[in-house]
Amino acid sequence: MSETNLHDKNMMSLESYCQEIACCAKDAAYEMASVSGETKNAWLRKIAESIKSQSDYILTENQKDINTATNLSPPEIDRLTLNPQRLDELIISIKEIEMFPNPIGEIIESTIRPNGLEIQKVRAPLGVIFFIYESRPNVTTDAAAICVKSGNAVILRGGKEAINSNIAFAKILSDSAAQIGLPDNAVQLVENTEHNAVGEFLKMSDYISVTIPRGGENLIRRVAAEAKMPVIKHFAGNCHVYIDNAADPELAISITINSKCQRLGVCNAAESLVVHAEIANTIMPKILNELEKQGVEIRGCEKTRNIFPNTKTANESDYKKEYHDAIISVKIVNSIDEAIKHINLYSDKHTETIITTNLNAARKFAAKIDSSAVIINASTRFNDGYQIGLGAEIGISTDKLHARGPCGIKELTTYKYVIYGNGQIRN
């Protein structure tokens, strides 16, 4: 946490302000590499206690953000909003992160060479993580908790729409670190909300090891284009539900509705429904009627419109789109192969689920779908760090390098080789 006086920072140029934060983070990263698991866990416990005891303060600051968010859509307001239940979930998430073993120093592999050298492949921190995110203020503590647990220093740059909430959380993080003895500047919040601040940090490959953007597609593409360091990115979440001809009808209805409607504005909500033609006439009226009851607009192919007259015509852009809204695209296909081809063509490689009682169909779908998570007979909403047992996540990567899918503690580490000898020299 930076001890620099905020007034002094405000007097700096933007470049100097950003460079000081990055320089301090790099210094902290060297210290973080040797911080004990006990110290990190004590910090996590202190954060959880402080969120509980200061919940009124956090919610008051969050309400300030909501009151000024007049240009946001209802799903965006939902992502911005904190309430007692979400704070309780955040506390549970932090406690789960605490329970994970300290990953730093873990021996991944160990071998002894014929000359007696012991070769260890040892888990190590990435270093400094620059994390850019929008709207969801609970991500501030989730990201900080995961980064610190994995031995990294982190620079947090939230969206201006959540600045009051983020400052409230950052104060808790800072105060807790001071009390526990975590290295200064291990976690820093960029309070400058200027658009150009992000660009300054993206130049600083000498200080920042990796950038992780979490937000709209325009933000991700900007970061990917400008960053001088590696980027772990998630462009969009056009997630698909495929209902196979061997699907259980009741499961098909409940999974589709949950995937789409449980929470509209999140990246693992279903945006596209693909249905096998053999069961379309029997199952689709029930599903589409239920979606319509939930306020979801249906945009589908000609076959879908013949079955469900309220359907609007889907065009090419509909099948590509992550709506983040009460809209879903629908496509009827003649085979699982056609479904796989359609999904791989339009998917953002985030999450796809198949509903089927045919094990061979499930295996084929899992093998041929090229996405970060393939789910069988369950909601797309389960591609989530907390839900799959990572405690929490800093984001869901749709890349294949360096990490894929939900990025938890281990995904924020790398490795190095530690070689033990007793005097060997090379001939």
Q: Do 134 and 215 belong to one domain?
A: yes
28 lies in the same domain as 86: yes
The per-residue pLDDT for 392 is 80
Position 11 confidence tier, pLDDT thresholds 50, 70, 90: low
Question: What pLDDT is recorded for position 8?
Answer: 55
> Residues 275, 252: one domain?
yes
Q: What is the mean pLDDT of the chain?
A: 94
Question: In this structure, is residue 389 part of a structural domain?
Answer: no
Indicate whether 58 pLDDT > 90.
yes
| Residue 90 confidence (pLDDT) | 94
Contact 133, 232 (CB under 8 A): no
Residue 245 lies in a domain: yes
What is the predicted pLDDT for the residue at 393?
Answer: 87
Quick one: what percent of the chain has pLDDT higher than 90? 87
Q: Residue 387 falls within a domain, yes or no?
A: no
Is the pLDDT at 202 greater than 80? The verdict is: yes
| Residue 3: band (very low, low, confident or very high) from pLDDT cuts 50, 70, 90 | very low
Chain position carrying tokens 């990917």: 224
- Residue 73: what residue type? S
Backbone angles phi, psi at 87, to 5 degrees: -70, -40
For residues 227 and 250, state if they share a domain.
no
Q: Answer yes or no: is pLDDT of 12 > 60.
A: yes
The neighbouring-strand residues paired with 419 are 119
38 and 122 in a single domain? The answer is yes
Q: What is the pLDDT of residues 227-274, one digit of tens each?
A: 999 999 887 899 999 999 999 999 999 999 999 999 998 899 999 999
Q: Are residues 207 and 99 in the same domain?
A: yes
Residue 96 reports pLDDT greater than 70 = yes
Mind listing the pLDDT tens digit for each residue in 307-341? 999 999 999 999 999 998 999 999 999 999 999 99
Does one domain contain both 106 and 181? yes
Name beta bridge partners: 118.
112, 420
Question: Residue 353's beta-bridge partner residues?
Answer: 241, 375
Q: Is the peptide bond before 195 cis (omega within 30 degrees of 0)?
A: no
Containing domain of residue 247, as a range?
239-382
Query: How many angstroms separate the Cα of 128 from the Cα of each of 12, 15, 31, 187, 188?
Result: 22, 18, 11, 10, 11
d(CA 427, CA 418): 21
Average pLDDT score over residue span 407-422: 97
Indicate whether 178 and 244 sit together in one domain: no
Which residues 6+ apart lie within 8 Å of 32 measured at CB?
125, 148, 151, 152, 153, 183, 186
Query: Per the domain annotation, does 114 fall within a domain?
Result: yes
CA 220 to chain centre: 12
Question: Tell me: the pLDDT tens digits for 290-312?
Answer: 999 999 999 999 999 999 999 99
Task: Quickly state the pLDDT bin for 7 (edges 50, 70, 90).
Answer: very low
Of residues 336 and 427, more confidence is placed in: 336
Which CATH number goes with the domain that contains 269?
3.40.309.10
Alpha-carbon span 239 to 374, nearest angstrom: 10
Task: Let me know whether 228 and 122 are in one domain.
Answer: yes
Collect all residues with Cβ–Cβ distance below 8 Å to 271 and sequence separation of at least 6.
237, 238, 239, 240, 260, 321, 322, 323, 327, 328, 329
pTM over 0.85: yes
Specify the number of domains making up the chain: 2
- Domain match, 193 and 304 both: no
Give burial (CB, 10 Å; 0-12/13-18/19+) of 351. Answer: buried
Q: What are phi and psi of 264, to 5 degrees?
A: -70, -35
Domain shared by 251 and 340, yes or no: yes
Let me know if residue 391 belongs to a domain. no
Element (H, E) at 20: helix 14-32
- Mean pLDDT of the region 392-406: 90
Let me know if residue 359 belongs to a domain: yes
Residue 76: pLDDT above 90?
no
Specify if 413 maps to a domain: yes
Structure confidence at residue 312 (pLDDT): 97
Which CATH number fits the domain that encloses residue 97? Answer: 3.40.605.10
Flag whether 74 is in a domain. yes
Mean pLDDT of 411-427: 97
pLDDT digits (tens, 9 = 90+) for 99-137: 999 999 999 999 999 999 999 999 999 999 999 998 889
User: In this structure, are 146 and 225 located in the same domain?
Assistant: yes
